[in-house]
A and B are shown apart, each in its own frame.
Chain A
């Protein structure tokens, strides 16, 4: 993965830049010592690392604005960072950049149950947003797997999803307003406690813009009352095709489960060895969860089970207690850890039309043989968001490159069948150079033109999302 060469003039001005940052921030909020900046050298895409010039940890929108003014004035690239859990390298710095971390901005600013929103500083973690309203029976719906650690700032930057978005939508469907600081330090307010913002849908563009348009410091988020209960059912099938058909039939039946999760045999075996959840040894396994009162859950599951039975399942496991429900989820929730136990892995998140599921799984199996790398599939089947986990050995020369080539082939396959490169993780640096497989040059040009409007000097997270050669003239002109 190539990154642009750092700007030597900026590296040479480090002392002056750090001194100017100190002028606008308390001493403890500026990190410039080489041993300490190392903590910010990567995010969850750990294969790539580079310590930044400095890192700053402001606590207010005003401080964020002051920092951006300094960086704008000095022409220093800024890489915004939430909790650093990006799997796509969205928060990876370059040597000539300043990391702007919002982790210390984690206050709840306003909670309003009558109007069903919460306003928070964006360094707050996803799970602690729900935590702030839980006692009153409410929750914040988007639930990325990293929700214990990931920050709302990163969720907004990547438009994060989660297991339950089949019913509740992803971040963009639950974001009502933001306070955002532009690269030149100007603070703008978009949307708010009302349901739709005036004018063009700027909020829609900002959500998912990977920290390239502005730094979001505060967010108004939709909260919902928790359902009375939820219960999963587990189904095992002897082929991926049949499991895929079952998913399609459930969706077509008119019942909307909150989650439909899918695991294939390699993944089932790995999680069994790791977590011992008691899953059947079969080709494909589905976990379907529905919500409501006990009687409502019974009524929905009755229909779902009737559909499943038509597909001759090798196993149908209902839950009669909270313990049994937890056991059904246990394997799914430990799938990533189980695969990690076997070897290093790379997690992809291409999305495909549900109807293409059997074809894509078969093709991934063939590619796995060609590359000689094992792959397990665990994913959100209801919305076609795949998560192939490719196993490789980071210590074996050439294995990472082979794994990346395999991953790129899978993502091209997703695009080929009518899907996309990334469903919820974002492009970052990881999928940057594959963008040409999904978009024509003009499609990328209009997206880059949007960045021109928000950040004319291309200082915010500049070497991400767009292929380096596509963005080169803009980045160089900005220097």
Chain B
């Protein structure tokens, strides 16, 4: 099913007799396996409103991400939260949609500076599991009118409703970017340096560690003179002895961090862990120092581990959670993809889903 209007989405949901698999571009095949008819949002396409002077863009949910990016680039703007492209890692193809990005709350390296996708999301329109057409938020930067369902819809993986339109805050592309680079660091030294850089006044927009070769990266963006100044300041402080990579080379380096080039191509299971940044070295050690990309100053760990390893047991002692992003079908059937929640929160989430999707037909069980 590929509806072309919001009302068609509503009709299809009302008429559904069984489970629906909600799909944008199908590039992020993550979650427990869902059996059911596919409802694709790719027919709901197009930028409906773009005001560069107000930093706001409204688009139909099925609009290809590349179209959104091109529209913004024409005005020297971009999505601030730097969404990851999952295709290479997951071996998927097709075109990511803006609605899919929002449904998965996909947030890249700049999350530490500007927030996640959910922080850029200003408003949503969606059809819930009862076929009701609903809206929340709007297209203005500040909005506390009623409950914030905008945040709830971001990262709900199509389990609460089918998004039909999203409204986003966008960002001007800065004049320059540069990255400070170090090599041969242990996780502990790297995370220490990243914490120091992030705790400086120098407005860091990326802070990552890649275990292969022990590389650490700190990104600065802004006016040319300002980037130079801050790089020099950091080189005499948190990043002593680090070299500087500029322009396109810097951008390429962050694309690799964002899209996990270092973890791409293998067959093993890929996990995504969200932890307190300074816990990262201990977590990696407990996992036997696997091949890892640590973004967000260490707070976001992507690892490549053998199936037998009980990864959650290793992180249960620290605050945080783990998502199994890439795994065999067998693993996805037997291991919860999303981190099991404590009982009271699981009950709240279950009851919320029942309100939004009383028949339990929208991506049932995908999030556990």
Show the binding face of A for B, using Cβ within 8 Å: 113-116, 137-138, 158-159, 161, 165-166, 169-170, 172-173, 182, 186, 188-190, 192-205, 207-209, 225-228, 248-249, 251-256, 292-293, 295-296, 299-300, 351-355, 380, 382-385, 418-427, 431, 435, 438-440, 442-447, 449-450, 452-454, 465
B111 CB contacts on chain A under 8 angstroms:
195
Question: Known contacts being A251-B54, A293-B229, A385-B141, is A453 close to B348, with CB within 8 Å?
Answer: yes
- Which chain B residues lie closer than 8 Å to A198 at the CB level? 274, 321, 323, 338-339, 341
Min CB gap B17→A, angstroms? 23
CB pair A115 B132 closer than 8 Å: no
Tell whether, in the assembled complex, residue A355 and residue B53 are in contact, meaning their CB atoms are under 8 Å apart.
Answer: yes
Is B133 touching A442 in the complex (CB atoms < 8 A)? yes
Known: A200-B352, A225-B201, A427-B145. A173 touches B119 (CB 8 A): yes
Identify 7 residue pairs between A and B in the complex whose beta-carbon atoms are under 8 Å apart, listed by A's number.
Answer: A115-B195, A170-B142, A208-B147, A251-B54, A300-B223, A454-B348, A465-B146
Contact partner of A190 (CB less than 8 A), chosen from B199, B339, B345, is B345
B174 to chain A: closest residue by CB: A254
Query: Quick check: is B55 within 8 A (CB to CB) of the other chain?
Result: yes
Given A226-B201, A423-B142, 20 more contacts at CB 8 Å?
A115-B278, A188-B345, A194-B275, A194-B321, A197-B321, A200-B155, A201-B151, A203-B151, A204-B150, A225-B200, A251-B55, A256-B172, A293-B229, A351-B142, A353-B51, A385-B141, A419-B138, A422-B145, A423-B143, A442-B134
* In-complex Cβ contact of A435 among B118, B139, B145, B320 (8 A): B145
The A interface, classified by DSSP as helix, strand, loop or mixed, is: loop
Which of A199, A249, A253, A351 gathers most chain B CB within 10 Å? A199
Tell me if B225 is interfacial: C-beta within 8 Å of chain A. yes
Bound-state Cα–Cα, A385 to B171, Å: 19
Whether a CB of chain A sits under 8 angstroms from the CB of B175 is: yes
Determine the residue in chain A with the shortest Cβ distance to B191.
A114
Does B140 touch A at the CB level, under 8 Å? yes
How far is B1's CA from A350's CA once the two chains are assembled, in angstroms?
40
CA distance A115 to B280 in the complex (A): 11
Give Cα distance in the complex from A194 to B274, angstroms: 6
Within 8 A of A (CB), among B153-179: 154-156, 160, 171-175
Tell me, in angstroms, the Cα distance from A454 to B352 when the chains sit together.
Answer: 9
Interface residue? B299 (CB, 8 A): yes
7 closest pairs, A vs B, by CB?
Answer: A204-B151, A248-B53, A254-B172, A423-B142, A383-B141, A198-B321, A449-B355
Cβ of A256 to closest chain B Cβ, rounded Å = 7
Residues of B within 8 A of A296 (CB): 222-223, 225-226, 229
Contact digits for B42-55, partner A, Cβ 8 Å, 1 yes 0 no: 00000000011111
B319 x A193 contact (CB < 8 A)? yes
Q: Contact check, B199 vs A196: say whether CB atoms are below 8 A apart.
A: no
Contact A199 B146 (CB under 8 A): no
Query: What CA separation (Å) do A452 and B148 show in the bound complex?
Result: 15
User: How far apart are the CA atoms of A166 and B169 in the complex, in Å?
Assistant: 11
Indicate the member of B143, B150, B155, B277 with the most A CB atoms within 10 Å.
B143
Is residue B135 contacting chain A, with contact meaning CB distance below 8 A? yes
Q: A205-B147, A355-B54, A443-B136 are in contact. Are A385 and B152 (CB under 8 A)?
A: no
Residues on A with beta carbons closer than 8 Å to the beta carbon of B174? 254
On whether the beta carbons of A193 and B276 are closer than 8 Å, the reply is yes
**Interchain CA distance A228-B226 in the complex, whole Å:** 12
Set B75, B144, B173, B223: member contacting A208, Cβ < 8 A: B144
Contact of B134 among A172, A182, A446 (CB under 8 A): A446
Contacts of A385 in B (CB 8 A): 140-142
Tell me if B146 and A447 are in contact (CB < 8 A).
yes
Report the minimum CB–CB distance from B282 to chain A (whole Å).
13
A43-B218 Cα distance, complex, nearest whole Å: 46
The answer to the question of B284 belonging to the interface, with a C-beta cut-off of 8 Å to chain A, is no
| Residue in B closest to A158 when the chains form the complex, CB atoms | B144
Instruction: Please indicate the chain A residues that have their CB under 8 angstroms from the CB of B242 in the complex.
Output: none
Contacts of A114 in B (CB 8 A): 192, 195, 199, 277-278
- Would you call A199 and B143 a contact (CB within 8 A)? no
Point out the residue from B75, B148, B229 that lies within 8 Å of A204, measured CB to CB.
B148
Q: Are A453 and B145 in contact (CB under 8 A)?
A: no
Residue-wise, chain B 27-44 has the 8 Å CB interface mask toward A (1 for contact) of 000000000000000000
Asked whether, in the complex, the Cβ of A202 is within 8 Å of the Cβ of B195, the reply is no
Using A114-B195, A225-B200 as known contacts, say yes or no to A418 and B138 having CB atoms under 8 A apart. yes
Which residues of chain A are near B105, meaning CB under 8 Å?
196, 201
**B351 CB-CB contact with A under 8 Å:** yes
